[in-house]
Structure formats: C-alpha cells, structure tokens
Amino acid sequence: MKKILLTGAAGDVGRRITPMLKAAYPGLVLSDLKAPADTHGLKFVKADIANFAETAAAVAGIDGIVHLGGYSVEGPWESILNANIVGCYNLFEAARAAGVKRVIFASSNHAVGFYPRSTTIPHDVTVLPDSRYGVSKAFGEALGAMYAMKHGMGVTCLRIGNVNETPLDMRRMAIMLHPEDLVQLIRIGLDHPDIVFEVLYGASANTRAWWDNSRAKALGYRPKHDSEGQLAAAKTGQAAIPAEPIGDFYQGGTFASAEYTANFAVLKGWKAPLRP
C-alpha cells in the first residue's frame, strides 16, 4: 500500500493516529470537511462524503483507505443517514470505481451494544445495535462484506471501543483502544496478504475485556497496552457518573439507555444465542 487515504482526519482519532500512519505510509493523504490544525506536511483533500463527486475526487489514485469519516455519535436520523449511510456507500462505491485494493472501515462497539457486560462475545455474533449510530455501523459492516465478496476488495471492519491512552471510566476499562494498538490493527487490514473480509474488535489487551479478539490475534495482532494499570483513573472518572441500571447493564452504556422504552426487567433476562 503506497498511497493511503485517511478520512475523518480532523477528528480526535484521526489527529491521534496521523503521525504514526505517516511513518508507515509516507504517501498518506488526509481528508475531511475541514483541514486538521496540523497536517504534518501531508496532502489534504477537502471532501464531504455525503457528496459522491467530492468523495470520488478524494479517492482517485488511492491504494487503500482508512475510513474514519462520518457522524461519530448518536444523533438525529437525518444526520446519521447522510453521513454514515449515504456517505459510507459513496466511499465504498468510489473506492470500487477507483480500483482501491483495501478499505479499513471504522465500525463501533455500538453495533453490538445490547450485549450484557457479563457476556464475552466473539467477532461473529449477531449484531445488536444500541442506537441509530450503531445501526449505521452494522450497515457499514454489511456493505463492506458485499464489496469484498462481489468486487474483491479487501475489507476490514474494526469495532472500535474508545480510542485513548487512559480509560475515562469503568466501562472504558473494558473497551480502551490505545492509538498505537489501533495503528497496528489498521496495518494488518492494509497489509496482511490474507485479508478478504474481517470483523475485528478495536481494543487493547485489556484485562477486563468483554470481547474475544482471537481472530485479530490469528492475523498477528499483538496489542501493547492494557487499561488495568490505570484502574485508579477509571475509578475516579466513574465516581462522577451517576449509576444507571440500563446503561450499566449493557456494553453500549448510555447509547443503550438513551430513549429506552422497553421493559428492562423482562429484556435483561433475554440471552442472545451465541454461536458455538
């Protein structure tokens, strides 16, 4: 992979990983609605992924894409639709037309956010989105699978937890993804010779993990970080957050509890069938 496009480059995650990606891929190109404060001397292409022509212009001449762009939190359906559904389709279709070989799709833990925290889940579980945002990420995974199987594009979907060097609360003790470990996962998706279509968890080697990331390890993932060493910081952050029975039960946290109208007493006893 000589020329890599990073969408969503001006966002928090994009800013954190740009220097490391530049070191690995000197031909890195940045794209977003606005330029990052620091482009690190890299080419920047302004593009709104909801606009197909702008997306196609950004993708032209690219070998691989790290797709972080889109609406990154829960929001109104129209916002999610334009950025994460239409925008995601535009990205994959422009990539196909341009002959892009690999795409890393930034999925999310919220695609499976309605699994209880007491359950360890593998990568091939049934999606249980906890929000409109989570639905859009499940859509992106399905779209990536189609482009991989129908068009031969190597696609890796990363169900990212929380990208940070420090877990901000007890929930993020389980899902913290250190930026260095994220870059390692991205490099597997871009460079591993056997990639066809993969769904991997974007998490460091956290002692309290809820996810079985053995598939990523089979592809060579060796995370360097574990949130356990920062338990005190997580407890301090947690102390400032009010207890909430629904959000504290599900892996998706407040994404699961927001707008919740179901009978929690009934549903918390339901167990999704896990594959053997």
Indicate the Cα dihedral angle 33, 74, 166, 109, nearest 10°. Answer: -110
Alpha helices in 66-109 (DSSP H): 77-80, 87-98
Which positions are annotated as active-site residues?
133
CB 167 within 8 A of CB 233: yes
Among candidates 48, 37, 63, 41, which has minimal Cα distance to 8? Answer: 48
Phi, psi (5° rounding) for residue 2? -90, -40
The DSSP secondary structure of 72-133, one letter per residue, reads -S---HHHHIIIIIIHHHHHHHHHHHHT--EEEEEEEGGGGTTSBTT--B-TTSPP---SHH
Report residue 100 as tokens: 């892009």
- C-alpha–C-alpha distance, residues 132 and 107, integer Å: 13
Residues 6+ apart with CB under 8 A from 224: 178, 180, 181, 184, 204, 205
d(CA 216, CA 41): 32
Tokens of 276: 């053997």
Alpha carbon distance 22, 28 (integer Å): 6
